[in-house]
Amino acid sequence: MELENVLITLAISLIIQLVFFLIAFSFKTDKLTDFTYGLTFILLGIYVLVNSKTFGAAKFILISMIIIWALRLMIYLFYRILAIKSDSRFDEIRGNLVRFLSFWVFQGISAWIIMLPSIVFLSFAEESTFKSLSVIGIFIWFMGLTIETVADIQKFRFKSDTSNKKKWISSGLWRYSRHPNYFGEILCWLGIYLYVLLILGQKYYWLGLSPIYIFILLRFVSGIPILERNYAKRFADNEKYFEYKNKTSMLFLLPPRN
């Protein structure tokens, strides 16, 4: 059942992306991209849970963590895209069928990999017993969600102020990290992985692929590197920006360096 669900959920994730890709490509819109990303997690979780035919406390807690995280992301990003109208990430690929589709396929595969611990856990026909140590995972998830939410709100408010158009945010959580929202995101999925591992046992350590993957994705591929390059170009002649960059942690929340 576990392997079957793993393969089926990959197919479902890709089908979801294909359906919304066709709409987004037809109307040349960015309004569905991030919304679909969050929706994929919810649909995958619900599918596996319903298919397992068991619904106890441990599964209820896990599916709740997934849905709360996904809804927060969907609402925030949908509200943001309505405000900014378009996403600059897609300016060069929005009209290119192959490149735009490649992004959506990559998004579907990424959502599936990140969901692996949850897919395996929710697949069990027999309800797993909740263990007190799993509270550690819930706590880390909650801290990540809080950090990500606060960071997103702070940055959105900062960018909504027209007087900050040519500035970068260095207040609030952004004083301690140049990308605190990504740090929170990583913590969320690390927490979910630990929650699952502490209940299922050490033989499922390989599910650590999920938090490792999202760390690599955000730190080295599609998150931080793109933003860092954009900021370096935008503020190339601003010495104060590079002072902020040199004294502020890239990802982890740490006191500014002197």
Which residue from 200, 188, 190 is spatially nearest to 59, judged by alpha carbons?
A: 200
pLDDT at 28: 86
* Residues across the chain: 258
Has this prediction a pTM greater than 0.75? yes
Residue 10 in domain: yes
For residue 247, pLDDT beyond 70: yes
* CA dist., res. 114 & res. 185, Å (int): 11
Domain boundary among 130, 160, 180: 130
Q: Are residues 77 and 200 in the same domain?
A: no
Q: Are residues 119 and 155 in the same domain?
A: no
Q: Are residues 157 and 85 in the same domain?
A: no
Q: Are residues 145 and 20 in the same domain?
A: no
pLDDT in tens, 144-196: 999 999 999 999 999 999 999 889 999 999 999 999 999 999 999 999 999 99
For residue 31, pLDDT beyond 90: no
pLDDT in tens, 81-132: 787 767 777 777 787 889 999 999 999 999 999 999 999 999 986 777 788 8
Q: Are residues 148 and 195 in the same domain?
A: yes
pLDDT at 111: 98
Helices (H), the chain: 2-27, 33-52, 57-84, 97-123, 135-160, 180-200, 209-216, 224-234, 239-247
Q: How many domains does the chain have?
A: 2
Q: Please state, rounded to an integer, the average pLDDT across all residues of the chain.
A: 92
Q: Are residues 92 and 188 in the same domain?
A: no
pLDDT at 90: 72
Q: Are residues 57 and 103 in the same domain?
A: yes
Q: Are residues 83 and 98 in the same domain?
A: yes
Q: Are residues 202 and 153 in the same domain?
A: yes
Cα 207 from chain centroid? 17
Residue 2 in domain: yes
* CA dist., res. 73 & res. 80, Å (int): 10
Q: Are residues 89 and 150 in the same domain?
A: no
Domain boundary among 130, 161, 196: 130
Residue 216 in domain: yes
Q: How far is CA 207 from each of CA 39, 86, 118, 119, 123, rounded to the nearest angstrom?
A: 22, 35, 9, 10, 14
For residue 3, pLDDT beyond 80: no
Domain boundary among 112, 130, 148: 130
- Identify the domain containing residue 232 by its residue range: 132-253
Q: Are residues 149 and 113 in the same domain?
A: no
